A = this chain, B = another copy of it.
Amino acid sequence: MPKIVDHEARRNEIVEAFLAVVTRAGMPAATSRATAAELGVGTGALWHYFDGFDDVAAAAYQRISERTNARLAASTAGRRGLDAVHAMLREIYPLEKETVEEAYVVVGFWGRLAANERIGAGKDVAGHWSVLVRDHLVEAVQDGELVPETPVDDVSDVLFAVGMGQQAFAVMRSPLSAPARQLSLIEHCLIPWRTPGFARSHDG
């Protein structure tokens, strides 16, 4: 069924064009017109592949989730415990240019989700990542980095909720989203559960 394959490929090209405009010019510039221009087509051509711009935004959100999943796999390969937790959170929290740009797309999608009930929220990405963080917290307990009584589910949920909050703060340009402050909040969430005197060699 080559037609279906082409349709998917074209959808992907449109989403990549949207994200290219975001990267180059910022989320406010990434309109349907600019996305179509990036591909050298008229705006109307987009609507053979998407049911409106909410649908493009949902696909871009999905694409960013996949990109982040790939980065998480790469950055945690060969790492465990708190070292892996920090590597993961650095890919999710809006600490650098790439993740700040992603925050704009993600928060923009949340806004569309809030305003349009026809958009499906999609898979529970947050829940999925929270579980990945928790697994590395369990390793940190096994390795003695964290105390045995560490409430790993709660620590993971809080680190995750803070990361979502930071994406909102980044878009609000709140002083709360300064990178040093974000990193200090991660440390704050971990410090009560660190094993006293355990040498920190890997999680810096």
Contacts and interface: CB of A to CB of B under 8 A. Distances in A.
Interface of A: 26-28, 30, 103-105, 107-118, 121, 124, 126-127, 130, 151, 154-155, 157-158, 160-169, 171-176, 181, 184-185, 188-189, 192-193
A114 B124 contact: no
Contacts of A185: 154, 157-158, 161
B174 A117 contact: no
Contact of A176 (B115, B126, B172, B174): B126
A29 to B, nearest CB: 9
B117 A28 contact: yes
B173 A121 contact: yes
A134 to B, nearest CB: 12
A151 to B, nearest CB: 6
A136 to B, nearest CB: 18
Contact of A184 (B154, B162, B168, B175): B154
Contacts of A124: 172, 174-175
A1 B141 CA distance: 68
Contacts of A176: 126-127, 130, 157, 160-161
Contact of A166 (B118, B151, B161, B184): B161
